[in-house]
Every structure is written in C-alpha cells, then in structure tokens.
Chain A
Amino acid sequence: MLQWLYDSYDPVKLSRMLTGITLFFHIIFATIGVGVPLMIALAEFIGIKRRDSHYLLLARRWSRGFVITVAVGVVTGTAIGLQLSLLWPTFMKAAGQTIALPLFMETFAFFFEAIFLGIYLYTWDRFKNRWLHFMLLIPVVIGSSASALFITVVNAFMNAPAGVKFLDGQLVDINPWAAMLSPAAPTKVAHVLASAYLTSAFILAAIAAWSLLAGRRHVYYKKAFKLTMVAALVFFAATAVIGDFSGKYLAKYQPEKLAAMEWHFETTDKAPFVFGGILTEDNEVKYALKIPYLLSILAKDKPSGTVTGLNEFAEADRPPMYIHYLFDLKMMLVGMLGIVLALFLFYLLRRRSQRQLYANKWLLRGSIAAAPLAMLTIEHGWVFSEIGRQPWLLRGLMRTSEGATTSAHVDTMLVIFVLLYIVLGISSVIVLTRMFRSNRAEDEMIAMGLEGGEPQ
C-alpha cells in the first residue's frame, strides 16, 4: 500500500482515495446529524404531550451527545466542502456554473440549523411554556434535512446531468433550477433522508438495548427502546418502498449501472434477478442464484419488461463489474436489519409477550448489532452508488480523470487526513462513552427529583 503510494504518483487515483475517505468518515456524522434531530423532536413532543418527564430527559440526553457528533460533522463537512475545490479544481470550474445553487442553499440550510441548535441547547429551562422550546427544534430538523436534500441534489446532478447542454467541450444553456431537479434527485433525496432517519433510530435503539441487556430495568430504557424501534420500523418500510423506486429510476436513466450490478449483458425482457455467483472471462454468469422475472419486475413493474443490457455500452463507459457483489452485500445487510425488526414486531404484537419485548436477549443483541449494520448499509450504499457512476465524474459529460488536481502533494495530504480522521474518530468515541458513563440516566433522574428515579 505505502509502497504503491511511493512508486507511482497518480493525483487522480490519490484524489479519489482522499475524497472517498473524507466522505466515508463524514457520512457517519452526517447521517447522525440528519436523523437524530428528528428523534429528539419526537421524544420531546411525546414528553410534552403526555407530560412524561422520562421522554423529556431522553430528548435532553440525546441532544447532549448529539452536540459531540455535530462538532465532528461540521468540521469534516467543512473539509469535504473545501476539498472539492482543492482536489477537483477543473470539475468545480464546471460545477460552479451549474450546481453552485444547491451547494449554496446547503450552506444556508446548515447556517439556519447551526443558529437554532445553539439556541435550543442553551434554553432548556428558559421558557415557561415548554412548547416554545420545542419549536426551536423545528428549524433544526428542517435545516438538517434540507442540507441533506440540497447536497444530495448536487450528487444527483453528477449522476444524471440535466438543465445543461454540452457543446464543443463547454457547458452551455445552463438552467440552474432544472439542474437541481435532475431525474436522479427525487429518489436519491428520499432514499438518503429515509435511510438516515432509519440509521439514527437504530443507533439510539442500540443504546437503550445495551442498557436493558446490562440489566438496567428502569422504565426509562423501556420507553426509549420502544420509541426508537417503532420509529425504525416505520423508516424501514419507507426506505424499502423508495429503494424500489430507485431500481426503476436506474432502469430508465442509468441503465448501465443497473445492468452492471445485475451482470445483465443482453437486452431482454423477462430478465432474472441474479444473486451471487462468478463472472467468467467471456461474461457468463456461473453458480449464481437466479430468480426469474424479478429484475424485469423491479425495473419495469411487469415480468415482460425489457431491461437494457451492458452490451449496449462501450467497454470504456461501463462501471466496474464487481459492483454486483457490492449490491449483493447490500441486500444481505438490509435482510439482517429486516430480521431484527421482524423479531421486534413479533414481540410487540403478541400481547402475551410484552415483557419479552424488553427482556429477550436475542432481540436486544440484534438491536445492538443493527446500529453498525445500518451505518454500514449507508456507507455501502454510497460506495456502490459512486463506484457505479465510474468512469464518469459528470455522467456522460466529464470523466473522472479530467476533473482532478495536478498538484504534487496529494499523497502527503492523504496521509495527514487519514491520521486526522483516526484521531477524531477515537476521540469522539471516548468522549461520548465517558460522557454517559459518568452521568447515568438513573443518577440524573434522582438529581432532578423525578418520580421513579429511585432504584427499583
């Protein structure tokens, strides 16, 4: 690895690695940043509505931890924002004319969120009317989701450029509003938002499950667990529906990506869905699990739907074939999350086993595992989406190699940033665990004089 870095200096490859690593790290915190405010709002809403201090404490403790993740999200977000220009100057020159608008609006949304988050955190006991404090959270939720929306719009444009004409190597006839509403935007935005909500719900559920599994039986943890898991259930359903739309979008606008992920070479109707297997040198699929008609159904809603094959595309325009395995992996991850939620639903609906809901070791363990799995699914979804777009930086308009910097120092910067992310990652885990260990919910309830705060 290091040897390779020294042997061949290739700014394109190194810029891709550095951008990828920065995004990989940022996405962890960005996802939490989008999803957790909604969960905090949910808990605070229920708390005020039902006059239940446990939910209010929940919102308060979540928001305390949230600040730490926001800090890392802000600084890594600044990093990627600047790196776009530093590592991809030629791309940003083109992008500046076409997609500066959503980039800019993202900053606005973030500004809005930052202002109100600061106010929210420091006004917990300032208003007599609790609803006023709750209202402060609304701009935070809107701001965080809107910034995800706008930044995803930028990515959608890169996948399916719209609102521009390409003439003699120049982007002309630019319509910024049309560029924002590229065909990829609706499915991508919906998918990003729903999966961020889902993952955040799972992360918070894992924390509650962890405490329950450790034998802390306070009703506070039960409420936290039930709230987060029900939310996860809802977001999971939404994500699944949107995922289905994404398949249809790909079939229509980025058929080479769909075809590569399913190793679909000939354009045919009644196309099968391919899982696993290997690809021989003459592009034959062997040892794979094939489900007849399913790809056609996914892509076109009917078994007789025609799915474009890879043979329609020049070799140089095809994404790498290994994205097939990436997609398989994604389906497996999603499947595991589904099993955990099904188990939860089973105990939730069977009146007789309500106690089991908070005591079943396998459900609790599964819920703990679901948090990293969900985060992996998000990371994985991005890797899949970005590699599936190769070799294009702007699909059909600019190749990745044309956009990168020519600077001679990308290798050093790569090493520096990797070190930075390692340090930040480790520090935030240490800080977060210490923060909650040194101030347990039970202690806080006693300190606040809440009923039921005494050890049971």
Chain B
Amino acid sequence: MSLEELGIGILWLFLFGYLIVASIDFGAGFYSFYSHLTGQRQQVRTIIERYLSPVWEVTNVFLVFFFVGLVGFFPDTAYYYGTALLVPGSVAIVLLAVRGSYYAFNSYGFGSKSLYMFLYGASGLLIPASLSTVLTISEGGFISEDGNRVRFLFADLLTSPYAWSVVLLSIVSVLYISAMFLSYYASKAGDTAAFEQLRRYALAWMLPTILSSFLVFYAIRGHNSEHYEGMLSLWWMFALSTLCYIGAGWLMWKRKKLGLSFMLVLLQFGFAFFGYGASHLPYLLYPYLKITDHFTSPAMASALIIAFVLGFVLLVPSLYLLMRLFLFDAKYVQGKLKK
C-alpha cells in the first residue's frame, strides 16, 4: 500500500467515524425536538440527553480531523474544494455553530426552550444535507477551471438529480442510524416505553434507507458512469452491506440482541461507505485531482503518519474510557448516578 492510499484510508476511516457519531447526534436532536412537539418528551428525551451530554463535543472533532488531515495529505484539495465550497461550506459552519452552541445553552444553561429545541432539531437535518454536497462535488461536473480561477457551478448543483438523491440518502440515513442506536441504548437503560417509541422510529426508516440507497446508485450511473462501473466491480461489498441491513432489521423486529443489531448497522454503512470510497479512487475530485498527483511532500507525509500513530496511542484508550464510563456503565445508563 502506498503512502497515498494509507493516508486516504485513515482519513476515510475518520469520515466514517464522523458519519456514525454525527448521525446519532443529529438524529437524536431531531427526535428530541419531535418528541417535544408531540408531547412524549420525557420518555425519549431523558435517554437522549443522558447519552449526548458527555460526548457531544467529541463529534465535531472527527470532522475537523478529517478536513485538516485531507489538506495535510492532499494540499490541492484546499485549492479546488476551498474555492468551490465557500457557500455550502459556510452554510454548514453556520448550522454547526448554531446547533453546537444552542445544545450547550439548552442542556447546561437553563431549562428547555422551544426555540432552542427547534434550532437544535432542525439544523441537525440540514447539516448532513449541506455536508453531503462535498461528496456530490467530488463526482465532478460542478466545477470548471479556466486559467487559475476555479468556478463553482451552483445552478448545476441545484438542478442535479444526483445531488438531490445524495441529500435524501443523507437525511434518511441520519434518522435510521440514530433510531437504531438510541433503541439499543434505551433497551440497555431498561426503559421500555422509550425503547418501544424509538424502535418504531427505527423500523419506520428502514425502507426509505434502502430505497434512497438504490436511488443514489441509479443516479450515479447517469452522472459519472466511470464511477458506476467501479462500484459494480466491487459489487460484493454492496451485497454484504445489504445482508447486514437485513440482519440488523430482523433483530430489531424481533427485539433480540440489539447490540449485535447496531453492530450490523455499522457494518452495513461501513461496507457501503468503503465500497463507495474505494471505487471513487484514484480520484479525489473527478477529473481534476487524483490521489497520486499533488500528494504532499514526502517529509510531511511521513511526519503526518507518525503524528497519526502517536495520536491513536492517546486517543483509542481515551475513547475506550469514555465509552466504558458512559455507554457501557449500567448504572450511568440507567440514570442511577448523579451528574
């Protein structure tokens, strides 16, 4: 494996980490707001808050990690994506800012306010939509380059069926992943009422998830046939993803082994995400940027890899400790410990 592939592999792993933790977070915000509206707030919200409070800060870091690493390994991405993404990127920043701070204002400051809940819940669905723009742009067709000016073809993006299918998939997946995780968490807490409610959400989003996945598959065929061919040649990864999806759904339906069920959700998205990523290579931005050209200086690449390894040595045990204390600690999950 070349340094380039190792670099993009690590970064992709972080993006996947973000996708999962952020989905849980965004979806939780939405369900929290939704249950506030429909009056079942206490049931679902207590569970959600108990999970989110100690971890919300960590979520953002996965994202920062990804783009700092990307610019480090592939400096030209800053040049192309930076120019193109000013508007969608800024929209995402504003939404993330509103969401993050109002979460803290709401849960640490003072009692819940409907406005705060709304800002928090609604932004959670808009952020995945604005962030998924990056993936859409990476397929090419939305950027033109003349001389040394990069132009972003905004109108093309807004009218592209592919772009909208990605937006749809991102929103649906957020709600699905989140409900699957929170059901598992509620069942660990022994909170039957909350579990039943969240399980209904999870099952309701199952069909839309698979349908929107197929829609994206179909849309990419029309948009970037080269990538579509690549995805076909990795068909087995997508097949495994579908199997995991079926397994996860079946266990949830039967209310059995919910931990395993969520593991299967992780694998389902893992196979699809890595299959998508692997078939996208060697392009970082079709057709302008390959991972092999404009790779960072060799000295920086090895320095970054060293930093990665040292960082992991610190991070993995810390993350494990966080999970031990708040995710897998029965007393905490059941709310028997004071804050």
Contacts and interface: CB of A to CB of B under 8 A. Distances in A.
A51 interface: no
Nearest to A94: B75
A83 B93 contact: yes
A70 B57 contact: yes
A68 B68 CA distance: 25
A123 interface: yes
A424 B64 CA distance: 21
A420 B299 contact: no
Interchain residue pairs A-B with the least CB separation, the first 6: A96-B75, A100-B72, A89-B82, A71-B104, A92-B78, A118-B54
A97 B110 CA distance: 45
Interface string B68-101: 1101111110111111011101101110111011
Contacts of A86: 82, 85-86, 89-90
Interface in A389-412: 405-407, 409-410, 412
A428 B307 contact: no
A204 B319 CA distance: 31
A64 interface: yes
A438 B73 CA distance: 49
19 contacts: A68-B104, A68-B105, A70-B57, A71-B100, A75-B60, A77-B64, A81-B68, A86-B82, A100-B68, A104-B68, A104-B69, A107-B68, A110-B64, A111-B58, A114-B61, A122-B339, A126-B337, A407-B86, A435-B108
Chain A interface mostly: helix
Interface stretch (A172-180, A252-260, A269-277, A349-357): A172-180
B72 A434 contact: no
Interface string B103-131: 11100111000000000000000000000
Interface string B31-51: 000000000000000000000
Interface residues of A, number: 74
B72 A85 contact: no
Chain B interface bracket (under 10, 10 to 19, 20 to 34, 35 or more): 35 or more
B318 A79 contact: no
A67 B109 CA distance: 9
Interface string A113-127: 011111101111110
Contacts of B69: 100, 104
Contacts of A96: 71-76, 78, 296, 300
A326 B72 CA distance: 35
A174 B300 contact: yes
B75 A68 contact: no
B149 interface: yes
A74 interface: yes
